[in-house]
Chains A and B, each alone.
Chain A
C-alpha cells in the first residue's frame, strides 16, 4: 500500500511537470494549429527568470522578502515568456497561419536563437530587453482612445518605443552593476535554491514527500484551474473557444480573431514560463533545459487529443505514472514472483532512458488504435 502510494505520488509529480509544460502547448496547438518548437525555450526563459528574481531578491532592499521570491517569480515568468511569445506571434507566426510545417521550422529557428541568446548575452541586459519589449508592446494600448484614433498615432507609438528602449537600457545597467553574477554572459548551468520554507519533506500517511515536488503539484493545480476558469467563464475565454471551433464563423460574427490569436499565444507562452519555474526547482537551469521536455510535451498533446484540456491532464498523469512504474522497476516490487522472462524484460527497461523508449513505443502502439488521441475532436470534414 505504502509502495503504491509512493509510486502514485512520484507519478503524479512527474506528470504535473509534464502537464504544466504541455498545457500552454495544448492551448496554442488546439486553437491555432501552430506547432511551437520554441515552447521549450520559453520554459527556459521562465526558469532563467526565476534565477534572476532570486538574485535580485538577495539585494539588501528586498532581502526581508526573500522567502517569497518564488511566488513573485511565477508571475514574472508568466509575463516574461508571455511577452516573448507575443513578439513571436506578431513578427513570425502571424505570417505562417495555415502552414503548420513551416511554423514548425521557423519556431525551431527561434529556439536556436533564444538558446544562443542566453549563452552570449548577460542576463542583466536580457532582463532589460524584456522590460523594454514589455513597455513597447503595452504602453500604446494604455493611451486614451482619442490619441489611438488620431493620425499621428504612429509617432506616439514610435516615441513610446524610444522610451521603452531607454528604460530597458537603464534597468539593464542598474541590474548589472548591482548584481555581479548577472553582468557577464555565461553558458554554464545555474542553480535555483528553493527558499527555506520549501526545503525538507512533509509526512502524509506515514510517507515522506519532498516539499518542492508538492509545490510543483500546487503550481500545476492552480494553473489548470485558472486556465479552465478563464476559458469557460470569461468573455475572452468564450471568444477563444469560438475561434477554436470555427475560425471563419467567429470572424464573421465580429470576434477579432487577430486579438484572440495574440491573447492565446501570449497565455500559452506565459504558461510555458510558469512551467519553467517548476523546472528550475527540479534541477539546474541551462540553455538546453527546454529541449529535455519538448518532445514529452508533444506526446502529451498528441495522446490527449487536440483542443481538449481533460485529455491533456489525463495523458500527462498517465505518462507520468507509467514512467515511474517502468523506470524505477516498481512492477517488480509490487509483484515479486513474476515469471522469469517477464521480469527480465522489465529489468531491461528499468532505467530512465529505457523507460522513455518504452513509453514512446506504447504511445505509438496506442495511436494505432486511436489515431486522434484520447478525446478526438468530432466533426464531419474529410480531413485537414
Chain B
C-alpha cells in the first residue's frame, strides 16, 4: 500500500501546516469550553488509534486489548494527581483509601509521588506490559484470530482485576482527577483544560511524526512483510518475534500516553476504559479512517467520536445501529478505509463508473494483483 499517490506541492503543504497550527492556537477562543474539551479528548484518542494502526494496519496484528494500556496510562496519571493533592486528607493519602480502612499507601504507588517518575511511567509501564504480553504470545507463533482472542481475554483479566480491587485502586469507582491540583491549579478548571488541549495537539502531531518515522525505512518494510507473509520473512532470516514485540510495545506506549491525556480531560479513569466494546471501537476508528494510512487513523478517531457525540445527543438509540452498520459497511465495501480509498483507485473507479474518465488499458492484471496476500 503506497502511502500517498497524490504528491502535494510544497507550498500547499506548508500553508496547510500554518492553517493547522493557527487553528490549534485559536481553538480555545473559538470553541465553547464544552466542545473544546470534547475535541481535546478525541484528539487524545487519536494517539491510541495511531498505535492500533501501527500494529494492525502495518503489522497485521489485530489487538482487541489496547484498552489495557490505555487504562494503565490513565491510572498512572490519575494516581499521581490524587497523591500530590492529598495533603489535607488523613495519613496524607488519597481520600478513597480511608473508605476501605487503608492507612498506608500501597508500596507500588510510592514512586508516583515523584512527577519525573510519573512522566516516564505513563508510557513506559504500558509499553513494558505490552511487550511482556506480546512476547509471550508471539514466542509461540500465536497469530491471527488467536492473537485477537487472547488480547481480548487479557483485557477481561485486567478489567476484572481492576474492578475487584477496591483497596488498591478504588475498584469500580475509578480515580477522579478533575478536583485534584496540578501546579496550584484545579485540573478540571478552564485554564488547565485549555493547556491540556494544546499539549494534546502537540503530542498528536509529535506521535504522528514518530509513527511515520517508525514505518519508514527497513523497519517499516519488515513490519509490512510480516503483515503480508510472515513465514517468508522468517525464512529470509529475520526473527518476526522481536519486530512484533517492539511494535506492540510501541503501540502500548502510545496507548498509555493517550489514556493519560484522555483521563485528565474527562476527569476520571475507571475500569470502564477496559471494557470490550471500547477496545474494539479503537479498531473501527482505524478501519474507517484507513488502515495503513497514519493520517487516516487520526482523522477516523476524531471524526467518528465527534459523530458519535452529535448523534447520541440527537437520537440516543440510533448510534448503535449506525455504528454496527459502519462496521459492516467498512469491512465489506471499503476494506481500505476512507483515506485508503481516496489515495488508491477509489475516486478514479467511481468516475469511470459514471463514464467521466477513460479506463486505463495497460496491463490490468498488474493493478488487480496488488491487493493479494493481504488476507489476514
B25 at the interface (CB under 8 A from A): no
B284 and A112 contacting across the interface, CB-CB below 8 Å = no
**Stretch in A147-155, A227-235, A248-256, A294-302 touching the partner:** A294-302
**Residues of A close to B86: CB separation below 8 A:** none
Residues of A close to B335: CB separation below 8 A: 102
Q: Which residues of A contact B326 (CB under 8 A)?
A: 109
* B205 contacts A by Cβ under 8 Å: no
- Tell me whether B142 is interfacial, beta carbon within 8 Å: yes
Interface residues of A in 331-368 (CB under 8 A from B): 351, 353-354, 356-357, 360-361, 363-364, 367-368
Is A105 on the interface with B (CB-CB < 8 A)?
Answer: yes
Q: Which of A102-116 contact B (CB under 8 A)?
A: 102-106, 108-113, 115-116
Interface centre among A101, A120, A383 (most CB of B within 10 A): A101
A382 at interface by CB-CB < 8 Å:
yes
Decide if B148 touches A101 in the complex (CB within 8 Å): yes
The CA of A92 and the CA of B329, in the complex, are separated in Å by 10
Residues 38-62 of A, flagged 1 when their CB comes within 8 A of B and 0 if not, give: 0000000000000000000000000
Q: Is A35 an interface residue (CB 8 A)?
A: yes
Contact of A109 among B153, B163, B325 (CB under 8 A): B325
Q: Is A109 touching B145 in the complex (CB atoms < 8 A)? A: no
Contact B375 A367 (CB under 8 A): no
Is the Cβ of B136 less than 8 Å from the Cβ of A368? yes
Contact across chains for B161 and A357 when beta carbons are under 8 A apart: yes
Instruction: Provide the main secondary structure of the chain B interface.
Output: helix
Q: Are A99 and B375 in contact, CB atoms less than 8 angstroms apart?
A: yes
B227 to chain A minimum Cβ distance, whole angstroms, is 11
Which chain A residues border B149 with CB–CB below 8 Å? 35, 295, 298-299, 302
Contact string, B94-115, partner A, CB cutoff 8 A, digits 1/0? 0000000000000000000000
| A112→B161 CA distance, assembly (Å) | 26
Q: Contact: A92 with B145, CB < 8 Å?
A: no
A302 touches B146 (CB 8 A): yes
Query: CB of B160 within 8 A of chain A?
Result: yes
Known contacts A101-B145, A102-B331, A295-B153; A113 and B231 CB within 8 A of each other: no
Query: Which of B139, B141, B152, B284 contacts A105 (CB under 8 A)?
Result: B284
Complexed CA–CA distance, A111 and B145 (Å): 18
8 Å CB contact of B142 from A351, A354, A371 = A371
Which residues of the partner chain A approach B153 to less than 8 Å between Cβ atoms?
A: 295, 298-299, 360, 363-364
Q: List 22 A-B contacts (CB under 8 A).
A: A92-B328, A96-B331, A100-B144, A100-B145, A101-B144, A101-B145, A104-B62, A105-B330, A106-B328, A110-B327, A112-B321, A113-B324, A120-B317, A295-B149, A295-B153, A298-B153, A299-B149, A302-B150, A351-B164, A361-B157, A367-B150, A368-B136
Interface residues of B (CB under 8 A from A): 62, 136, 139-146, 148-150, 152-154, 156-157, 160-161, 163-164, 230-231, 276, 280, 283-284, 287, 317, 320-321, 323-328, 330-332, 335, 375-376
Counting from the closest, the 8 A-B pairs by CB-CB distance are A109-B327, A112-B324, A116-B320, A113-B324, A371-B140, A353-B160, A109-B324, A106-B331
Add 19 more A-B contacts to A92-B328, A113-B321 (CB < 8 A). A92-B332, A98-B375, A99-B375, A99-B376, A102-B331, A105-B330, A105-B331, A106-B328, A112-B323, A116-B324, A295-B152, A295-B153, A295-B276, A298-B152, A357-B160, A357-B161, A367-B140, A371-B140, A382-B231
